[in-house]
Amino acid sequence: MTGDWSLSLGLPKTLRHDAARLYWQAFGPKLGMVLGPERRALAFLESVIRADHVLIVTSKDGQLLGLAGFKTPKGSFAMGNPAALRQFYGPWGGFWRKHLPGLLSSEVDNDNFLIDGICVAPQARGQGIGTALLSGLYDQGQARGYPAVRLDVVATNTRAQRLYRREGFVQTGHHDIGLLRYIFGFTRSITMLRRL
C-alpha cells in the first residue's frame, strides 16, 4: 500500500469492464483499426483478458487506477484466441483479425519476463503508479526465475521511454513494421530490457 492506493496481483471480476476500458484508452489508437469499433473492442477485451496475468493498482474505494499485463508460456493478459475473435467479429472478421496482432508480436520470450502493456488512468498519472506497477513486475519476474524484464514501446512514446530508462531499462533493438504502419498508426517499436 502506498498513500491512497494499493498494488495487487490479479483482477477481480468486478473490475473487468474497467480494465478493458483502461486498456482500450491506452492502446485503442494502435489497435482501433483491428479491434474497433470501440463498443465491440470493449466487449471483446472484457471477455478475453486474463485475470491471472495482470497487476493492478486500486484506490481505497476500489477504483482501478492502473494495470500492467504480462505474458507467460500459458498466455498473455489481452491476447484472446481465434474462437473469441469469431464470436465478436464474425467468421470473416475473426479470420483476418487473428493474423494482424501476431504480425506485431506473438512471441513469448522464454529467456525474459515479457510485459504486455502498462496503463495508468489519466486522473492518476504523476502519483508513482507506473513506477509501482513496474516494481511489481520486477518482483513477478524474479519470483518466476527470469533474469530480466523485457518490453516493447512505440518509438514516438518518449514519455514512457524516459520512465523506463529511469527504471534501468536499456534499448536492445527495434522493429520497423513496414506497411502495417497504415493499420497500427506507428512505424517503429523499441525493445527495452532491464536486468533483475
- For 3-17, the pLDDT digits (tens) are 689 999 999 999 999
Banded model confidence at residue 182, pLDDT cuts 50, 70, 90 = very low
Torsion-angle region of residue 186: left (phi > 0), alpha (psi -120 to 50) or beta? beta
Whether the predicted pLDDT of 187 surpasses 70: no
Confidence of residue 74 (pLDDT cuts 50, 70, 90): confident
| Four-CA torsion 161, 104, 136, 42, nearest 10 degrees | 110
DSSP per-residue string spanning 101-157 = HHHH-----SSSEEEEEEEE-GGGTTSSHHHHHHHHHHHHHHHTT-SEEEEEEETT-
Contact present, 9 and 140 (Cβ < 8 Å): yes
Q: Are 111 and 73 in contact (CB under 8 A)?
A: no
pTM over 0.85: yes
User: What is the average pLDDT across 111-130?
Assistant: 92
Count Cα neighbours of 175 within 13 Å in the Cβ-side half-sphere: 13
pLDDT category at 94 given cuts 50, 70, 90 is confident
Delineate the domains of the chain, giving CATH numbers in brackets: 5-195 (3.40.630.30)
